[in-house]
Amino acid sequence: MSEQGMERVSLADVQFPLRVRVRTGVWAPAFVMAVVLWVLFVPIILGVPSSLFEADSAMLPLLRVLAGIGFLPLSLYVAYTWMAWRRPRHLTVDEEAVWTDSWRVRWQDVESVWLNPTHGQAPDKKTQVGFMVEDHAWTDELRRGNRWDSGYPFGLGGLLPRDNLVLTQFATDPPIQSLFGLFEQLRMQARGEKPDDATAHG
């Protein structure tokens, strides 16, 4: 569902603390599919059974090369979907901060709020909110805590985030797009900025 097609949540609508849960059921099928592909890739890369790869076919060696190239990204995707399913980063929000079990950001340290992708048309299970934090808040602890939603590498996670940008996990309830305006209001309130309608940054 796009940002325009859902009801937006405002500051007046909310009782704090607000709990934003990850829809873990979205990730279970993705993890299972990734594991199945990983299991299929292993014998292909090893050339097992050998009799199959001794056949006079150009497609089998090509398949083996492609499996070898894709094995590392696929292995990362297995880990990524497992973490998303079994170690979800549920958000908690109040007027002072936004946090998960592994990271915390104070609203007064948030310079801007981003929607990723910025056009806001993607389904909610493919959308994140990003918090651009000030340099003094960009700590090693914060970066380590947010690494599974960093987008690095391959648009996934696992490596440390960059550019002072902390990202939420995909597929939340309520949808993360509906909370974008609320996050902007909380940020501006904490920083003493003039309240205004939230607009996407980028």
Digit-coded pLDDT (tens) for 107-149: 999 999 999 886 666 777 889 999 999 999 999 999 999 999 9
Residue type, 93: V
Per the structure block, which two tokens stand in for 121? 């048309």
Within a domain: residue 65?
yes
Residue pLDDT, tens place only, 146-163: 999 999 999 899 999 999
What's the pLDDT band for 3 if we cut at 50, 70, 90?
Answer: very low
Q: Distance between CA atoms of 62 and 97, rounded to whole angstroms?
A: 51
Q: Are residues 77 and 174 in the same domain?
A: no
Within a domain: residue 31?
yes
Q: Are residues 82 and 157 in the same domain?
A: no
Q: At 142, which helix (H) or strand (E)?
A: helix 140-145
- Look at the pTM and tell me if it is higher than 0.85: no
Q: Are residues 19 and 67 in the same domain?
A: no
Within a domain: residue 198?
no
The backbone torsions φ and ψ at residue 192, rounded to the nearest 5 degrees and listed phi first, read 70, 25
Q: At 38, which helix (H) or strand (E)?
A: helix 27-46
User: Which residues constitute the domain of residue 33?
Assistant: 25-86
Per the structure block, which two tokens stand in for 165? 């940008």
Within a domain: residue 200?
no
For 151, counting Cβ atoms within 10 Å of its Cβ (0-12 exposed, 13-18 middle, 19+ buried), the class is: middle
* Mean pLDDT of the residues in the chain: 88
Q: Are residues 146 and 169 in the same domain?
A: yes
Q: Are residues 73 and 157 in the same domain?
A: no
Q: Are residues 139 and 109 in the same domain?
A: yes
Q: Which of 159, 31, 55, 59 is nearest to 67 (CA)?
A: 59
Q: Is the dihedral of CA 104, 106, 112, 118 positive or negative?
A: positive
Q: Are residues 10 and 68 in the same domain?
A: no
Q: Are residues 16 and 61 in the same domain?
A: no
Neighbours of 171 (CB within 10 A): 22
Q: Are residues 33 and 122 in the same domain?
A: no
More reliable by pLDDT, 200 or 91: 91
> Stretch 191-196: mean pLDDT, rounded?
79
Share of the chain above pLDDT 70, in %: 86
Q: Are residues 121 and 156 in the same domain?
A: yes
Q: Are residues 156 and 71 in the same domain?
A: no
Q: List CB contacts of 159: < 8 A, sequence separation 6 or more.
A: 147, 150, 152, 153
Instruction: Count structural domains, the chain.
Output: 2
Q: List CB contacts of 80: < 8 A, sequence separation 6 or more.
A: 148, 156, 157, 158
Helix, strand, coil percentages, rounded to 5, for the chain: 45, 15, 35
Q: Which of 87, 82, 66 is nearest to 34 (CA)?
A: 82
Q: Are residues 80 and 119 in the same domain?
A: no
Within a domain: residue 39?
yes
